[in-house]
Structure 1
Amino acid sequence: MPLSISDESKPQGLKATVPVMGTPMKVRLERYLPDLRWETTVVEDPNGGPVAKLSLRGEGLLQDVWLCARDRERQSISAHVGSVAIRELPGQTGTEVLQELTDPDVVGILLIWLSDTDSPLAYAVKPGKTVSLPRSPWKLSVLKYTPHYSVDRQTKEVTSLSDKPENPAVEIRVEGGKQEYRQWLWSLFASSPHQEQQLPFRARFVDFHPGTGAGRYILAAPEGSPSYLLHLKDGKKHIEQVEPGKRYPFEDGRYSFGVDEVRPGARVVTTWKEGSEVLLNPAVVATIIQSTSAQQVLLELGKPYHHKTSSGTLVVLYRRVPDSSKQ
Structure 2
Amino acid sequence: MTVIGNHEALPDEGEMRLSEASARDYFELLKPRVMSLVVFTAFAGLVLAPGHINPVLGFIAILCIAIGAGASGALNMWYDADIDAVMTRTARRPIPAGRILAKEALAFGLVLSCFSVVILGLAISWFTAFLLAFTIFFYVVIYTMWLKRSTPQNIVIGGAAGAFPPMIGWACVTGTVTIESIVLFLIIFLWTPAHFWALALFKMKDYEAVGVPMLPNVSGERTTKNQIVLYAVLTAVVAVVPAILGFASVGYGILAALLGAVFIYCSIAVRRMPDGDPKMVPAKKLFAFSIFYLFAVFSALMLDRLAYLLMTGTGGLF
Q: TM-score, normalised by structure 2?
A: 0.22
Q: Indicate the structure whose relative CO is greater, using CA pairs within 8 Å and at least 6 residues apart.
A: 1
- Which structure's CA Rg is the greater one? 1
Report the structure, 1 or 2, having the larger strand content: 1
- In the superposition, the TM-score normalised over structure 1's length comes to 0.22
